[in-house]
Amino acid sequence: MSVVFSRTKGLTEAETHYCPGCTHGIAHRLVGEALEELDLLGNTIGCSAVGCSILSYNYINVDMIECLHGRAPAVATGIKRVRPDSIVFTYQGDGDLASIGTAEIVHAAHRGENITVVFVNNAIYGMTGGQMAPTTLAGQKVTTAPAGRNPVINGMPLKVSEMLAQIPGAAYVERVSLHSPKEIRKAKRAIKKGLTCQVEKRGFSLIEVLSTCPTGWGLSPVDAVAWLEANMVPYYPLGVLKAPEGGKNV
Amino acid sequence: MAGIQGIPHIAVDRCKGCGLCVSVCPQSVLAISDGAVNVKGYQPAIVAEPERCIGCTSCALICPDVVISVERIPVKKEVKS
Ligand code: SF4
Ligand code: SF4
Ligand code: SF4
């Protein structure tokens, strides 16, 4: 008899506050498993953000610090610079990273800070009640655009990974999704690659994780993963956008 | 014939009844309880057809609340004539 799946030591025993079927919980688990498998749990400092993931410090089993809205990359920069041997990551949603935190993320990438960013994109502001985010899809109905996002007034959704990948200081950028077991396995590999990139001191790494918000989207959890695959993946294509030079294994 | 029998374990009181595990199980092992509620007040996932499980772990991979653990045991399956 062998146990082929059990709870990672990278998560605490706490039960999460997330809505039923919200895939934030999967992203948390992947971070915990990646840290455990790379034997980094005792040497990692996490920076949690503002939004639905604000309590991630209760769930991911490493020392964590809660950052002001959007400022996690700046906090991570400070920690990494005074503790260069610690592994430092941020866990930020799109309402945090892609709007109020745009300056911080762009300049952390621009400086080539040797940190890892887990960027969870669910195309909406979940915690505050389903408002439009910079990442909300064209036509997607949200509480602040009940007829759907109108690109003429609101612009097209921001492709954060594409924007950051073209910055010379960004070493590794990949977009993954959580809509199926197969994609979840790939997402974990990408998070491990991002952390490995940091261990090897290759510079800034960011993994964008397409995630669901069943509550904000007004869909059942099962319909939400189908919606993600059908609507988000075509606009936010999956794959590696930037890989470190000479880092074939990263 | 040698084969694999999977055993999914559901920590019922951690479950939020979202149904994602049910939707990805290739063997229709899992179901959402149609009556009982757990301590949180959700109708949890249950193992409805345990003998069908192949231990693929898809259910555990997609569960956002890390409710499911999976074991595999080797079994001798009778070849039906
Ligand atoms: S509001 Fe959306 S993102 Fe926030 S916990 Fe609920 S489903 Fe998840
Ligand atoms: S391990 Fe695979 S076959 Fe068994 S219950 Fe889970 S998804 Fe179904
Ligand atoms: S995926 Fe997890 S939380 Fe959702 S019904 Fe299945 S066991 Fe429960």
pTM: predicted TM-score of the whole model, two decimal places: 0.96
- Write down the pLDDT at residue A51: 97
Q: What is the CA radius of gyration of chain B?
A: 13
Q: Would you state the structure tokens that stand for residue A231, as one six-digit string?
A: 């609507």
Contacts of A101 (CB under 8 A, 6+ apart): A49, A69, A70, A71, A72, A73, A92
Instruction: Dump the DSSP string for B45-71.
Output: EEES-GGG-----HHHHH-TT--EEEE
| A144 at B interface, C-beta within 8 A | no
pLDDT band of residue A249 (cuts 50, 70, 90) is very low
Q: Which atom of ligand 1 is nearest to the CA of A93?
A: 3
Residue in A with minimal Cα distance to B61: A181
Work out the pLDDT band at B79, boundaries 50, 70, 90. low
- Interface contact flag, B62 A184, Cβ < 8 Å: yes
Give the integer Cα–Cα distance in Å for A12 and A102. Answer: 30
Given this model, what pLDDT does residue A95 score?
96
Residue A136: pLDDT over 90: yes
Q: What is the dihedral of CA A229, A234, A239, A241, to 10 degrees?
A: -140
Atom 6 of ligand 1, residue of closest alpha carbon:
A19
Q: Of the candidates B16, B24, B69, which has its C-beta nearest A20's C-beta?
A: B16
Span A222-247, pLDDT tens digits: 999 999 999 999 999 999 999 987 55
ipTM of the complex: 0.95
Mean pLDDT of chain A: 96
CATH of the structural domain A24-229, one choice from 1.10.3720.10, 3.40.50.970, 3.40.50.2000, 3.40.1190.20: 3.40.50.970
Query: For residue range B33-65, what is the model confidence (pLDDT) as tens digits?
Result: 998 999 999 999 999 999 999 999 999 999 999
Contact residues on chain A for B69, CB-CB shorter than 8 A: 3, 5-7
Domain ranges in chain B are 2-73
> What share of chain A has pLDDT > 90, as a percent?
97
In A, minimum Cα distance to B17 occurs at: A20
Tell me the CATH class for B2-73.
alpha beta
Tens digit of pLDDT for each residue in A52-110?
999 999 999 999 999 999 999 999 999 999 999 999 999 999 999 999 999 999 999 99
- Residue A248: what pLDDT? 46
Q: Where are the domains of chain A?
A: 24-229
